[in-house]
Structure 1
Amino acid sequence: MFIYPDLTQALHRFWAAGLVISPWLAGVDEDGRFDPVIHELLSVRARECAFTHWTEAERGLVLNDLAAPERMAQIAVYEIAASTAVHLAHETFGELDVDETLALEAMTRVENFVGQHRFGTLLQLYMLVTSWENHNALLYYEEIPERAFVRGTWHRPWVDYSLSEELMFGALLGNIRLLRRGESRFVLLTDEGRDVLARTTKMLDKAGYFRQRLTMLHVSQFNLFETYEQLSGEIWPQVMEQRRQFLQWAGVQMGMKVLELGCANGVLTFDGGLTDQVGPSGFVVAVDPAMSMLARARSKQKRLGIDWVSFRQGRAEELPIEEERFDAAIGVAFLHFTDRLQALREMKRVVRPGGTIASFHPLKANLNVPFFREWFAPILELAAKRNDQPRDFLLNPNQVRDEFEEAGLQDIESLEVSIKSSFHDPDKVVQHYIRGVGLFGEELAPLPWKARENLIEELIERGRFVCDQYAESERVLYFPGQWIKGHKPFNQSTEL
């Protein structure tokens, strides 16, 4: 049996180099990811890189005595560069289009990584991640038609090359096999393949790969979530007024310098009243990881003519902000998407002594409601197989208070509020909750791509049936929400 070495540290170095592999970015269609010029550019550079670095010594390091498929090295370089280029497009412009500059930057990152950590390490990481994608899909479906497997249409539709060599290599290792049935052939996972999948899953989980994968998926979904504000207003009809009340409760006043986390398209910044609350004598710096959301927020700023706010791209866990600049660091509906303790420490770092840290976020809700059980049965059934509740991003009230305390905040106060959610339109509800904010993103992320898409379409169809069976007044959930605030001590350093 071929066993991967422990690649945990190698994965961390890979991410630190700004590289990704098959990140499940949105925008998959029949035309592939790139126009022909970009595809050819990446193909040529990948071929040159593989020819230079895939030496006999590297083959021995990775494969021992196993025969290497001829194009595996070139495909690995291409896929990593292609995935990284799309990821850069999301980070830089908030869209999918990759130009020559981004493609060349992605290839430079690949070549720099190879120069520092060897080509064999790059190839091992590619094999580890893609074998997980392949084996996980085979475990889910039990069998995949050979043609669908080599084209990736069921589980890796973002690829624009054949997976035939991965199929042959998996068969050589004894992890997968082909079964002929009539005139068709199917790909199946062997017992050895199941064991390999269990090992790779454990290793990737230990390395934080699945969390990283989910984060990339969430950011890419938000970048493409053009109807975010419109749908939020329809689905959460009372939340705008609750945002304004939260700002008052958090103590935001005229003339304050405020950092806003997770600003999206400015829904709290402008519509929720933050810039009005601090006024022209104050200042707001608003941060979000999704570039397209920031572009929409800047357009709104230009239209409103408000010059006491600036927008920056960044993550709450690593704020692009100097220390002790703000009177308050606040956010609405962002904390549950972060490494909360690290985000709170960063918020504490950038506020002055005595400054306020505050969050308004949703909490765990009772989903055992008739209309919801019928509508979202496919997701509930996934969880039932584990004898558990669906995995979502909703928080427990005590855990956030505990994390405020662990971050070293004082004078902590919290208040629970009720947030009305209207399940009024099947297409809009599924777009908002599933494709947009990703309420059950963690539950759906392990599904192969086609299975996930099929489940989403089923949710829309079930929603239409439920909307016919239940009155609109019955299709309402009340999510508990938490307002929580604390203060940075006067006598404590920013260092923890």
Structure 2
Amino acid sequence: MTESGLYALMLRTAGSMGPTIERALAAGVVLDTWMNGQAEEHITPEAERVLDAATQEWARRAQAARAVFPTYPMPPVYVEAVFNDLLTGTALYVAQQATGTRTVSAAHAGTAVRRLAAFVAAEPDGITAAARYHAVVASHEDLNAVAYYGRMRREDFLWGTLHRPWLDRLLTPEWTVYTQAGVLRTVVDGEGEWVTLTPAGRALLDQLRRTLEAAGEFAWRANAQRWVIFGETDYDRVFDTVFPDSSSSTREWVARLPLPPGAQVLEIGAGTGRVTFELGLADRVAAVGGQLIALEPSAALLSTLKAKRAQRGADHVTLVQGVAEAIPYPADRFDLVLAVAVLHFTEVEQAVAEMTRVTRPGGLVAARNPNPADLLSIPMVATWFRSLRQLAERLQVPLGEKQGVAPGRVEAAFRQAGLVEVQQHRVPLRVTAADPDAFLAFVLKGGAFYQNILARLPIEERWALLELLGRQGRELALHTRPEEQAMVASSSVITGRKPPEPAP
């Protein structure tokens, strides 16, 4: 294939793979590039055998079908790496969702094998779709690293030292394709041999970014990060440290929620159980002889919820794994459905529609969520996060995301879902960075409010930046006054009632 033909194929594929990536993510077939190095991984020997056997079988099929992208033939080591990455990433994801840890058992590995098989069987392009999916994500990691550094030592690129340090092979096959397509080139000077992007490479990288953003792959990375960080952090302490007044005002709000005798209540995104247990929701439901169901997507947080439930003997609380956008209950089931500090992590309109669907006619839907706030209006944080602002300018991306949801959007979602008697008001929300480690853990790791910046950084730069910000924050906290470390933001509290059934 000519250089222009190969480049055109790569550019065309980068622009057309969005729907395939969406389907892969929906099927739970993922590449685990984001979380590598964040949490300890362990794949049991039995799981290794399952994954290795499947890798060999998929590689054999791909070679036989001449299905490997972007060119054929590709070296066997590359083909095996494609399917090893897909299977291992999916197995780690399965383990994280099932147990809240990154320990992969043979059962998790088997689930990953079945997921990949089902995905390939459902795709019009079959096994080629899987290979192209891998190529789009991996190419983004490679080209993005070169773009970030401006130039990389050739040996660092080939070994993946700075951007794919988990590899146990050279990126020679990829390098051959990139140079043949004219997206990377070598520059030699007195300091050595360097890899740089060509104008064609920059155009390809721009298209890869657009595709991954639109397909939700970057958003998936942010959620993967939250699942791990929330599971390994003392989140209750972190939240109460950053938002010191939130618990008392939320407790008062919970105490005022109307509950009929025998109330059936659903809490969306229960997290660590702050609202469920510490702030009195379970006690209120028990007092009226009702039942509380706590819905939470993270297996790690479900484990925390189970421990708290056992400590309190709260048998009337049922814990269920699930997401706000697809509540696993029939329509008209609950007297009250509530979500606290959750909606900004969801597809708001879909989540509110689901909350409304499962609410009984005449029942109440309630939400409490932070409003958008500029955390850089905290003087200490403005100085502290200067490097993030500079990175955003350099990378030409917005500074921050998901730092709350506009109250107008939530109110519109309530009305669009058919709720009536919609009422909304604001309550003050004090935010403090006095404990910089807690602040960093919440806004940059667990909350992933600056994920759109971090996603553009090679993995080694991400961790280096987080370590640097940790040191800078601790130093700044020693030299700033309390009033320079905090701000008053706000939360919105909104309720709406599902219309009662018409009288016969």
Are the structure 2 counterparts of residues 67 and 171 from structure 1 closer, same or farther at C-alpha, using a change threshold of 3 Å? Answer: farther
Q: Please tell me whether residue 265 in structure 1 is matched to residue 275 in structure 2.
A: no
Whether 1:335 and 2:338 are equivalent positions in the alignment is no
Shift of the 36–279 alpha-carbon distance from structure 1 to 2, 3 Å rule, reads: closer
Partner of 2:146 in structure 1? 138
| 1:233 is aligned to 2:243 | no
Asked if 1:218 corresponds to 2:218, the answer is no
User: Structure 2 residue aligned with 1:73, among 61, 74, 79?
Assistant: 79
The farther-off stretch of 8-17 and 479-488 is: 8-17
Give distance in 2, aligned partners of 1:251 and 1:409: 17
Distance of 2:76 and 2:150 partners within structure 1: 28
Give the Cα separation in 1 of the matches to 2:438 and 2:84.
Answer: 37
Deviation at 1:381, TM superposition (A): 2.4
From 362, 371, 382, the equivalent of 1:373 is: 382
Q: Distance in 2 between matches of 1:207 and 1:452?
A: 22
Deviation at 1:389, TM superposition (A): 4.5
> 1:182-261, aligned counterparts within 5 Å?
182=190, 184-225=192-233, 227-252=234-259, 255-261=262-268
CA displacement 1:210-247 (0-9 Å, x = unmatched): 2333333332332333x111222222222111111222
Query: Aligned residue for 2:3?
Result: none
| 2:443–2:449 Cα contact (<8 Å) kept | yes
Which secondary structure does the structure 2 equivalent of 1:54 belong to? helix
> Are 1:361 and 1:483, in contact at CA under 8 Å, matched by a contact in 2?
yes
| Cα pair 1:329 1:358 within 8 Å, conserved | yes
Q: Which amino acid aligns with 1:34?
A: I
After TM superposition, the score normalised by the length of structure 2 is: 0.90
The alpha-carbon distance between structure 1 residues 439 and 112, as it changes in their structure 2 partners (threshold 3 A), is: closer
In the other structure, the counterpart of 2:478 is 468
- Structure 2 SS opposite 1:47: helix
Q: Note if contact 2:344-2:402 (Cα within 8 Å) is conserved in structure 1.
A: no
Query: More displaced, 181-190 or 481-490?
Result: 181-190
* Residue 425 of structure 1, aligned match among 435, 438, 444: 435
Secondary structure of 1:361 counterpart: strand
Match status 1:176 vs 2:184: yes
d(CA) in 1 for partners of 2:110, 2:63: 20
**Deviates most, 457-466 or 380-389:** 380-389
Q: Partners of 1:63 and 1:379 in 2: how far apart?
A: 35
Alignment-mate amino acid for residue 465 of structure 1: E
- Which whole-Å CA distance do the structure 1 matches of 2:139 and 2:485 have between them? 42
Change (3 A) 1:408 1:17: same
Q: Secondary structure at the match of 1:279?
A: helix
Using the aligned pairs only, state the percent identity.
Answer: 28
Secondary structure of the corresponding residue to residue 353 of structure 1: strand
**TM-score, length of structure 1 as denominator length:** 0.91
Change in CA separation of 1:202 and 1:270 when aligned onto 2, cut-off 3 Å: same
More deviation, 85-94/17-26: 17-26
Q: Could you tell me how far 1:342 is from its partner in structure 2?
A: 0.3
State the shift of 1:15 in Å: 2.8
Q: Does 1:152 align with 2:154?
A: no
1:96 to 73, 91, 102: 102
Q: Any unmatched runs of 5+ in structure 1?
A: none
Take 1:141 and 1:33, find their aligned partners in 2: how far apart are those partners?
31
Q: Give the root-mean-square deviation of aligned CA atoms.
A: 2.4
- Cα deviation, 1:172-203, whole Å, max 9, x if unaligned, reads 22211233444643322221111111222223
| Residue 324 to residue 161, structure 1, CA distance change in 2 (3 Å) | farther
After superposition, residues 288-307 of structure 1 pair within 5 angstroms as: 288-307=296-315
SS in 2 for 1:71: helix
Asked whether 1:107 is paired with 2:117, we answer no
Q: Distance in 2 between matches of 1:266 and 1:75?
A: 41
Deviation at 1:417, TM superposition (A): 0.8
For residues 390-418 of structure 1, what are the alpha-carbon distances to aligned partners after superposition, in whole Å with 9 as ceiling and x for unaligned? Answer: 33432222221122112221111111111
**Contact 1:254–1:279 (CA under 8 A) maintained in structure 2:** no
* 256-265 vs 135-144, which moves further: 135-144
Q: In 2, distance between residues paired with 1:384 and 1:180? A: 30
Question: Does the CA-based 8 Å contact 1:382-1:390 persist in structure 2?
Answer: no
| Structure 2, unaligned runs of 5 or more | 1-6
Q: Structure 1 196/381 Cα, relative in aligned 2: closer, same or farther at 3 Å?
A: same
Structure 1 Cα separation of the partners of residues 50 and 169 of structure 2: 15
Cα distance change, pair 436–209 in 1 and its aligned pair in 2 (3 A): closer
Aligned residues: 487
Residue deviations 1:305-344 (CA, integer Å, cap 9, x gap): 1111011111100111222111011011111000000000
Q: State the partner residue of 1:456.
A: 466
> Does structure 2 retain, via aligned residues, the 8 Å contact 1:341–1:403?
yes
CA 1:211–1:243 in structure 2 vs 1: closer, same or farther (change >3 Å)? same
Residues 420-465 of structure 1, C-alpha deviations (whole Å, 9 max, x = no match): 2222222222123222222323332332222222221222122123
Aligned residue for 2:34? 24
Aligned counterparts of 1:387 and 1:88: Cα–Cα separation in 2 = 31
Q: Tell whether the 8 Å contact from 1:236 to 1:421 is kept in structure 2 after alignment.
A: yes
Contact 2:378 2:485 in 1 (8 A): no
**Following TM superposition, by how much is the alpha carbon of 1:207 offset from its aligned partner in structure 2, in angstroms?**
2.6
Corresponding residue SS for 2:163: coil
CA 1:7 to 1:333, structure 2 compared with 1: closer, same or farther past 3 Å? same
State the Cα distance separating 1:55 from its structure 2 match.
2.3
Q: Which piece of structure 1 moves more, 137-146 or 33-42?
A: 33-42
Give the match's secondary structure for 1:380: helix
Q: How far off its partner does 1:162 sit?
A: 3.7
Deviations 1:262-297 (A, max 9, x none): 101111000011011122501110011111111011
After TM superposition, the structure 1 stretch with the greater mean CA deviation from structure 2, 4-13 or 71-80, is 4-13
Return the alpha-carbon distance in structure 2 between the equivalents of residues 239 and 32 of structure 1.
35
Confirm or deny that 1:58 pairs with 2:67: yes
Contact 1:254/1:277 (<8 A) preserved:
no
**3-state SS of 2:103 partner:** coil
Aligned to 1:415: 425
State how 1:353-372 maps to structure 2 within 5 Å. Answer: 353-366=361-374, 367-372=376-381
CA displacement at 1:67 relative to structure 2:
4.5
Q: Which amino acid aligns with 1:104?
A: G
The whole-number CA distance in structure 2 between the counterparts of 1:158 and 1:479 is 41
Residue matched to 2:130: 122
Aligned to 1:406: 416
Structure 2 CA distance for partners of 1:417 and 1:161, relative to 1, 3 Å: farther
Counterpart in the other structure of 1:481: 491
